[in-house]
Amino acid sequence: MFKLIEKDTWKRKPYFDHYFNQIRCTYSITVNIDISKVITFKNKHHTKLYPLLIYALTKAVNNHEEFRTAINDKGELGVWDTLLPCYTVFHKENETFSNLWTEWNDNLMAFLSSYERDIEMFGANYDIDAKPGIPANTFPISSLPWATFTGFNLNIFADGSYLLPIFTYGKYFRQDDKYLIPLSIQVHHAVCDGFHVSRLINEIQQICNNITADIE
């Protein structure tokens, strides 16, 4: 469901007008997320790391309207009630990638099951959009598991009206008995400020720290 925003009464109206109509502005930030508990969970339950990381992002994003605010195909401003992850899958055989999306489920094991089913059905499809029918309410996640980076920025040459967040994971590494992974977050200043991104980062970390609670 897409709920339209009444701009005249919207608390964010002056900021939206400034960063969308006057000085159209996006920004990005790269942080290290401690995934030590996620690695432990992965090893204990014999799961894959990538869907666990996708789950953490999607759960955090769906907790906050500012990261679900978008412009629909009619040019209307509104908020999706739920966002689904659309993530990249790499093909070693020809060194290309495909986009897959998975239905969201707050239940971790149910989400992992849906992810595995999508990988099994569409993971070998080399088309750029491997799973057909990508819904409008998806947000992009990609992974660069070959490089541990300290900064990452996407330069989108368009009209600057894409409002949803874009996430990119890097290669995880070990430091001081912890497993850390770089995460780049790109957002539109019209819908969220540094406060909102910082809160999201802290929440992603909390979800990773409490990953076992989502199956209890």
Options 18, 91, 189, 196, the catalytic residue:
189
Tell me the helices (H) and strands (E) count for the chain, helix number first: 5, 10
Task: Indicate if 189 belongs to the active site.
Answer: yes
Q: What share of the chain is helix, strand, coil (3-state, %, to 5)?
A: 35, 25, 40
Contact 113, 103 (CB under 8 A): no
Take residue 101 and report the two structure tokens written for it: 């999306």
- Residues present in the chain in total: 216
How many whole angstroms separate alpha carbon 211 and alpha carbon 172?
A: 17
What is the DSSP annotation of 108-166?
HHHHHHHHHHHHHHHTT--SSB-SS---SSEEEEEE-TT---S-------S-S---S-E
How many whole angstroms separate alpha carbon 74 and alpha carbon 24?
A: 20
How many whole angstroms separate alpha carbon 140 and alpha carbon 129?
A: 12
The residues annotated as belonging to the active site are 189
